Amino acid sequence: MYRLLIVDDEEIITDSLYEVFARFMPDRLDVCKAYSGHEALGWMSRTRIDIVLTDIRMPGMSGLELTEEIRTYWPRCKIVFLTGHSEFDYAYQAIQMADVRYVLKTEGYDKVTQTVLDVMDDIDCSRHTNRLVEQSREQTYALELIAQGDYFRHLLQDSRTYCRDQEALVNECGALHIELDPTVPIVMILGRISYPDQVSYIEKSKTMTASRMIWNSYLSGKTRHISIVDKYEDIVWFLQPNPDAAEKFDHHLIRFLEGTLELIQETCLESLGVTASFTVSGTSCKWEAITLQYERLRRLQQMNVDDDISIIVTDRFQQTHAPDAKEENRIGQKAEILAAHLEADRKEKFYACFEEIAACSLHPCANIERTSEAYYAVALVLFSYINRWGLNGQIGEYRKLMRLDDHPSMKEGFQYLSQIANRIFQIKRLDEKERATYVIDQICHYINEHLSGDLSLVRLAEINYFNPTYLSRFFKQERGINLSEYIDQCRIRKAMELLKDGDIKVREVAVSVGYEAAHSFTRFFKKATGMTPQEYRDTIPIDYPRMM
C-alpha cells in the first residue's frame, strides 16, 4: 500500500482531492492531507510518505521549499506539483528537480489521478531495481567489513581453528605487525562503559576513544596489549607482560591489573563522567583458548556487572571435577515441569517453578555454566511453544530467546523470559477469533468516539500498534469493508442523529464528524444519502408538544 499526502493551502481543493483519492483505490492508496507545508512536515515525521501531491505556491512554505525538506525525511518520496500557476519560473524550477511531475489544476481530476497512477507504476518498476542495488550495496559493505576486520575478531570466533598451526600464527602476527608474542600465553580483560541514556553515536565514539587512551596511559609501561571493540560494544583487551619487565612481575600481573583497573575506573568517572566495569581472566591462557576464555568472561559479566556500579570481577574458576549429573538432570526435570504447566495453562504453578529456577541461577555463588544451561532450558520451552502454536506474529520481539548474549545481564535475561511467558499466557486467554474481534471492536469504538478528530490510517495504526498496511487488510478481512468506508458510515450515522436537533447548525454538525469545511461536508453527505444536510433536515417531521 502506498501513502499519498495532499498539500494545499486552499481547503476546498485539499478536501476535494482528498475525497477523490480516498475512494479512488482504498486497497492500494492510503490518503492523508495537510493545509500547509509545516503541517505536511508533521506527517513526514510520523510515517512513511510515498507520494506528495502539493501546490507550488503556498504562504509560509512553498511547494519547492517543502520538497527540499521532504528529501531529508524520505529521499525516495515522489513529488507531483499541482498548481494554477503556469509561470515559467515555477515550472522551470520544478522541472529541474529529480523525480517530480508538474500538473496544472485546470487539467482536472482525471489528469491528476492518472498522474498519481503513473507515479505508482514508476515506484513499482523501480522497486525491483532498488532491491538489486541494495543487495549489491550490502555485499560491498560486507566485503569491506571483512577486509577491514581486525585479526583478533577472528580469534574470538574460533581461536582453536585459527591458532592450531603455531608457525602460521607467528607468520600472521608478523605480517600484521602485532606486537604480542603468539608463543606466549595472554591475559584477557572484558570492559564495559556505561553511557548516559540517549547518547549520540559521536559522543559514544569519543568516550570510547578517550577511555582507551586512559587505559594506555596506565598500562603501556608494564604491558603490551591490543584492544578491540566487540559486537556488543564492549572492549576486549589482550595483554602480556612487557618483555623488559622483571620475571617476578609475571606472577604479579593479575594483581597489578586489578589495582590498575581501579585507577582507570576512577579516572574515567572523574574525567569522562562514566562508570567502567571490568571482568578479568584469573590466569593467562594459550592463544587457542581465546574463544573459550572470552565466552567465560562474557558470562561472568552478565552475572555480575551492573551498569550503574563500577566493579572488577576476576575469573578464579578452575575445573577440578566433572559436572554434577544430578544437577544437570534437575534442570531438565524443571524444564519439563515448566512445559507441562504452560501447556495446561497453569500460570501460577508455572511462575512458582520459574522463580525457583531463576533464584538458584542468579545466586551470587551460582555456577555460570549451570546458569547458562538453565536460561536456555527455559528459553527452549517458550520458543518451542511459540513455534508449535504459531504465535510468532503475536508475541512481539522474541528473537532474543535463544540469544543469551543479547542481554546485558543474566538478571535481565531471566526478566525477559518472564515477560515472554506472561505474553504467552495472555494470548492463551483468547482464541484467535476472539482476539481479532476484540481488536476490531476496540478500533471501531475509538472511531465512533473520535469522529471529529484524526482518523487517518496512520493515526489508527499508531494508537493500536499496527503497521498501517496490515491494519487496512486486517480490518477488511474481519469486517468485509474498507476501513475508510466504515468511517464514512459512522460519520453519516452521527450526522443524521445531530441533524435531528434543529438547534445545531449544519456547520457545527460538519465539525462534529470531522469536516472543517461545511461545503466538503455537504458534498460528502449528498453523495452518501442523495440529499444535502438541509434537505435531510427538512424531511424530519416536527415533534409538536401534545395538548393537555
Question: What pLDDT is recorded for position 543?
Answer: 59
Question: What pLDDT is recorded for position 439?
Answer: 78
What element of type H or E holds 52? strand 51-54
Q: CB under 8 Å, gap of 24 or more: what pairs does 404-411 form?
A: 404/302, 404/372, 404/375, 404/376, 404/379, 405/232, 405/298, 407/302, 408/302, 408/305, 408/307, 409/301, 409/302, 409/303, 409/305, 409/306, 410/299, 410/302, 410/303, 410/361, 410/362, 410/371, 410/375, 411/362
Question: What pLDDT is recorded for position 320?
Answer: 39
- Cβ 220 vs Cβ 325: under 8 Å: no
Question: What pLDDT is recorded for position 89?
Answer: 56
Q: State the pairing for strand pair 312-315/223-229.
A: unpaired
Report the C-alpha gap between 232 and 279 in whole angstroms.
15
465 Rama class: left (phi>0) / alpha (psi -120 to 50) / beta: left
Report the C-alpha gap between 55 and 37 in whole angstroms.
9
Question: What pLDDT is recorded for position 307?
Answer: 57
Question: What pLDDT is recorded for position 402?
Answer: 86
Q: What are phi and psi of 514, to 5 degrees?
A: 95, 15
Question: What pLDDT is recorded for position 395?
Answer: 80
What element of type H or E holds 447? helix 432-449
Q: How distant, in Å, are the alpha carbons of 300, 304, 378 from that of 362?
A: 11, 9, 14
Among 270, 267, 274, 268, which Cα is nearest to 199's? 274
Report the C-alpha gap between 59 and 53 in whole angstroms.
16
Residue with cell 581486525: 150
Among 109, 41, 119, which Cα is nearest to 79's? 119
Question: What pLDDT is recorded for position 319?
Answer: 44
Question: What pLDDT is recorded for position 387?
Answer: 82
- Cβ 502 vs Cβ 538: under 8 Å: no
- Cβ 431 vs Cβ 389: under 8 Å: no
Going residue by residue through the chain, which has 548 residues, state the pLDDT in tens, using 9 for 90 and above.
889 999 999 999 999 999 999 888 888 899 999 999 999 999 988 888 889 999 888 888 988 889 888 877 787 789 998 877 555 455 556 555 666 888 888 888 899 999 999 999 888 887 666 566 656 665 654 453 343 346 888 888 889 888 989 899 999 888 888 888 999 999 999 998 988 878 888 898 889 888 888 888 888 877 888 888 888 889 999 999 888 765 666 677 888 888 889 889 989 998 898 999 999 998 899 999 999 899 889 888 887 766 567 788 888 765 434 445 455 567 888 888 898 888 888 899 999 999 989 888 887 777 777 888 888 899 999 988 888 777 777 787 778 888 888 888 888 889 999 999 998 888 877 655 676 777 788 899 999 999 999 898 888 888 776 778 878 888 888 888 999 999 999 999 999 999 998 889 999 999 999 998 888 899 999 999 999 999 999 888 765 455 44
Report the C-alpha gap between 171 and 162 in whole angstroms.
12
274 Rama class: left (phi>0) / alpha (psi -120 to 50) / beta: beta
User: Which DSSP string corresponds to 242-303?
Assistant: -TTS-TTHHHHHHHHHHHHHHHHHHHIIIII--EEEEEEESS-B-GGGHHHHHHHHHHHHHH
Question: What pLDDT is recorded for position 435?
Answer: 64
Q: Work out the number of other CB atoms within 10 angstroms of the CB of residue 29.
A: 19
Among 511, 113, 58, which Cα is nearest to 519's? 511
For residue 527, which amino acid is it?
A: K
Question: What pLDDT is recorded for position 547?
Answer: 47
- Cβ 472 vs Cβ 483: under 8 Å: yes
Question: What pLDDT is recorded for position 531?
Answer: 92
Report the C-alpha gap between 54 and 14 in whole angstroms.
9
Question: What pLDDT is recorded for position 321?
Answer: 41
* In 450-517, alpha helices (H): 457-464, 468-479, 483-499, 506-512
* Domains delineated in the chain: 2-140 (3.40.50.2300), 151-315 (3.30.70.270), 325-428 (no CATH), 432-538 (1.10.10.60)
